[in-house]
Chain A
Amino acid sequence: MIHLLIVGVLVVVATLGLGLLLTQTGILPAQASQQAITIDWLFNIHFWFIAFFVALICVVIVYSLIVFRRKAGEKGDGVYMHGNQRLEILWTVVPIGIVLWMAVIGGQTLSDVERRDPQAITVDVFAAQWSWRFQYEVTTEEGVRTAVASDVLVLPRNQQALLRLHSQDVIHSFYVPEFRVKQDILPGGEEYVRELRITPNTNGTYTVQCAEICGQGHYSMLAQVQVVDGSEFTAWLTEQAADCNLSDVECGQRWAETFGCLGCHTTDGTVKIGPTWLGLAGHAVELTDGSTVTADTNYLLTAIVDPNAQIVAGFQPNVMPQNFDELLSQEQINQIVAFIESLGN
């Protein structure tokens, strides 16, 4: 009896120690969304159960191995006890109760996390190997509805954002650790668009990562997330909606950034997933079939709208999205080509 009492005390002490270690040492990232608050509440319940069960089993085993150890020269067997039906029923029924209760609160937290706000702003998220693009719909002062594309996800604080997730090729997954939630992104058009709701509550800069392996560039499929005040968000959106009134080259650079081109093509000569643009235009390019072509304007136009037509030696086909002629206007494509040509020397 005395042994059971000591074990009981040790289990309580170990539970408290382990539980505090798990809940107080910051093993979860910063909380930056309403959803994170709910989810972390559930995490803490899990942490205390983990602490208790680890303490219970480990204390019993370690205590027994030490206290009842075989003394020097001691022969013979342990205590003969082969079971106890009541105890067995107890440690079957009690866990059933615990897990059912956990499932109930698991369901409740889920409905909290996914609660819909009819005022939510909608952002279309386009994932492709290996870049992110975020598209907002805005109505300009003249009453024209237009789309704004960005390679940075800007979200207003304390307002729910409804992300509509589109993939252009394989399965990706939208994940910002500080928001705590993630959702896989499926290819296949409108039927496969999935939604994710996030209510950011802390201004700051975060990173959206692709969480589902999507090939060679999976590790680098990252984009910036900025949570800002509502007024700042509106100002940013208005500015983005204005026509690009810069030079062709500067506009081209902007499209190259917002449409994710620079995820694979660099402008400084390093080779990533696709050929670098530095010193490309006007120079000879060797293709996989062994022939050589000059990277003139026509070549660059074809390379954007029909990337598989001519694959540069050393690179893979089917890597670049093949629908840029639908995503971009002819003017935008021309401006990107102008930007590439400006890097030709």
Chain B
Amino acid sequence: MRFFSTSMFRGLIAQVAGTVLGMGLAMALRVVFGLPLSSPIEAEDAHIREVIVVVGVLVGAIAFLVGSGVFTDWFKWARGEETSDDHTPDPSKPNWMRYFSVDFDHKVIGVQYGVTSLLLLLFGGIFAMLFRIELSGSGITFLNSEIFKVLLGYDGPHLYNTLMSLHGIVMIAGILLGVGAMSNYLVPMLIGANDMAFPRLNAFAFWINVPGAAILLSSLFFGGFDTGWVGYPPLSLRAPLGMQMFLIGVYLVGLSSIAGSINVIVTTLTMRAKGMSLFRMPIFCWAALATALLQFSATQLIGLSFQLVMLERLMGMSFFDSLQGGDPVLYQHLFWFYSHPAVYVFILPGLGVISELLPVFGRKPLYGYRWVALSSFGIAVVSFFVWAHHMFVSGMSPFLRIPFMYSTLLVAVPTGVKFFSWAATIWQGKTIFKTPMLFALGAVVIFLLGGVTGPPLATIATDLHLHDTWFVVGHFHDTMFGGFIFPFVAAIFYWFPKMSGRMYNEKQGKIQFWLMFIGFMLMSNLQLILGLLGMRRRVVDFDAALGFDTMQLALTIGGFMVFFGMLLFAYNIIRSWTKGEVAEGNVWDSRSPEWQKPNPMPLHNYEQPFEVVGEPYDYGLPNSRYVNMNPAGGSPSAH
């Protein structure tokens, strides 16, 4: 019964009430201005419904935030009331309630991000498995089942388009939250801070994702949408009401990105421990900082482009409809100006985790620390100048393609630096094959495939063949699994004792690794080959005469292996959270400051500030230390 007093429950109730209230408000306004509430013409009637529902959903999102209590302190400040800076939790409430409530501790927020992320990844995975069943063979069979028509009101090709589009965007939302989980949980702990710079903003940045995700998923029940996750107009101007849920949901998640990134930037730049110069930060912090700078300066553009599509749909402003004087290619520029850097937002933290784990388990220094650190910034900077490589066949100015080919190929340089440095780090190491290390090594190999399949997409002539084929799908899945999924799993296993105070199940972890690694290799290599053979993407059916049936079936099997691997992962961490072996002390023999503290991490990370006295990754150098946990005459905590 305590659940009913959590922010989560109150927020969701407020969201439902707010949505109803907002719809009522929209209807009332229409009546006041003498506008009709329905129309005998089907298209106009649908439009009126859309206006009313969209207003309702927007009010509902705000109501969630008010209801959950994330605004409460700010309201108090606005009224001139004092609030306490002490975030010590109420001891009369059980610990689990903290995770369902507005809490300002960065570790709690990090776990909240992480669990929400895994839930969204699960939804995205279920959508993928549904359309993978359909794609196992030619002909449309499974998605024509009666059950879908009954549940959703549509089936067949439109259902495929909706599931495929939702798979893409829900995974992306899940990945963005996963990035938030890693940045929020790790950055303060790694740099010796006791919390983020702006704890309330941090909580806000997490909680706005909850109504965002709920609205995004609800699009399934509002007729879906058939545009893919890119939402290109004019198609997105004609799609069902579900399109609006996609636009609003992503808009809210984007707000979270911006608010969250400010926090990461300020925290990293101003709250580091004594002696921790930028080049003595744990390498993950470099990646998190580069990521935050990208999020902070690019996310606005997707918000803008989605807002314009919303306004065009709601009010008939013709920004992108060329039949009414708009320009459809303009949308693609705005969209990719964010969505290309976004790809690096997804992968940079993961690459940081790889760089963080290889030295610990290889018992060797990170090779070329400064080069690895700066390569993250190299990737981040170049990523702003490559967006139009998504548009080589879009019909934009043909000569504009040439500079974008050059800039895109340049991405290979800083990425190459990472690979060479990782290979050199592994070289002559004394590797300990624990589950996090297996996932880090798997990530290197998978991301390598993503890396080498990039240049054929970058040179325009070959892209004329590959664009919008399964090759792009394969390339993208390589980068996402190598750059995010595998490192994210590695990070959760690695820091699991810090979160829970217990160990995960090693055997299950290793089974999960081999299941996912083999399944993924099968899946992604087949995607690449199908694309080279000329199979276009985003189709519910294909001609049996093309001879793709066997490959598509094998691809489905690979996909399910990955899916079951992630289910095993969920089982492992849920069970180990309460039943795992108690993990005492520095379980990985790491030099990093957080492992010098007990498990789970104490409430206020470092009651006594530590001092950095050496290099972070000098494994193998006798008598060297990274941190001095008890510096003589240490000053009291700055926080």
Contacts and interface: CB of A to CB of B under 8 A. Distances in A.
A176 to B, nearest CB: 9
B58 interface: no
Interface string B434-468: 00000001001100110111011011111011011
Contact of B462 (A43, A211, A217): A43
Nearest to B457: A46
A177 B322 contact: no
Nearest to A59: B423
Interface string A238-263: 00000000000000000000000000
A169 to B, nearest CB: 7
A67 to B, nearest CB: 9
Grouping DSSP codes into helix (H, G, I), strand (E, B) and loop, the B interface class, with mixed when no group exceeds half, is helix
Given A181-B465, A211-B536, A217-B157, 8 more contacts: A39-B461, A77-B430, A92-B371, A99-B413, A106-B409, A107-B460, A114-B398, A212-B232
A120 B581 CA distance: 75
Interface stretch (A50-58, A293-301, A330-338): A50-58
Contacts, number: 271
Interface string A102-141: 1101110110111000000000000000000000000000
Contact of A39 (B412, B431, B441, B462): B462
Contacts of B74: none
B145 to A, nearest CB: 17
B228 interface: yes
Grouping DSSP codes into helix (H, G, I), strand (E, B) and loop, the A interface class, with mixed when no group exceeds half, is mixed
Contacts of B459: 42, 46, 102-103, 105-106, 109-110
A154 B364 CA distance: 64
Given A78-B619, A95-B416, A171-B232, A68 B539 contact: no
Contact of B161 (A74, A99, A169, A216): A216
Interface of A: 27-29, 35, 38-39, 42-43, 46, 49-50, 53-54, 56-58, 60-61, 64-65, 68-70, 74, 76-84, 87-88, 91-92, 95-96, 99-100, 102-103, 105-107, 109-110, 112-114, 169-171, 173, 175, 177-178, 180-189, 191-192, 194, 207, 209-220, 222, 288-289, 308, 311, 317-318
A29 B547 CA distance: 12
A212 B441 CA distance: 36
A78 B416 CA distance: 24
Given A81-B367, A213-B228, A182 B464 contact: yes
A113 B461 contact: yes
A315 to B, nearest CB: 10
B163 to A, nearest CB: 13
A212 B232 CA distance: 10
A327 to B, nearest CB: 16
Contacts of B618: 80, 82
Contacts of B465: 28, 39, 43, 177, 180-182
A213 B429 contact: no
21 contacts: A38-B461, A54-B449, A64-B426, A74-B430, A78-B363, A78-B431, A78-B619, A79-B429, A81-B367, A96-B413, A99-B455, A103-B405, A103-B459, A110-B461, A182-B464, A186-B328, A187-B234, A188-B328, A213-B161, A215-B161, A289-B40
A90 B523 CA distance: 35
Interface of B: 40, 42-43, 157-158, 161, 226-228, 232, 234-235, 238-239, 322-323, 328-329, 362-371, 393-395, 398, 401-402, 405-406, 409-410, 412-413, 416-417, 419-424, 426-432, 441, 444-445, 448-449, 451-453, 455-456, 458-462, 464-465, 467-469, 529, 532-534, 536, 538-543, 615, 617-621
A78 B428 contact: yes
Contacts of A56: 423
Nearest to B371: A88
A70 B393 contact: no
B534 to A, nearest CB: 3
A187 to B, nearest CB: 5
Contacts of A96: 410, 413
A229 B209 CA distance: 61
Contacts of A216: 157-158, 161, 226
A189 B413 CA distance: 42
A186 B158 contact: no
B533 A27 contact: yes
A58 B364 contact: no
A211 B620 CA distance: 54
Contacts of B410: 96, 99
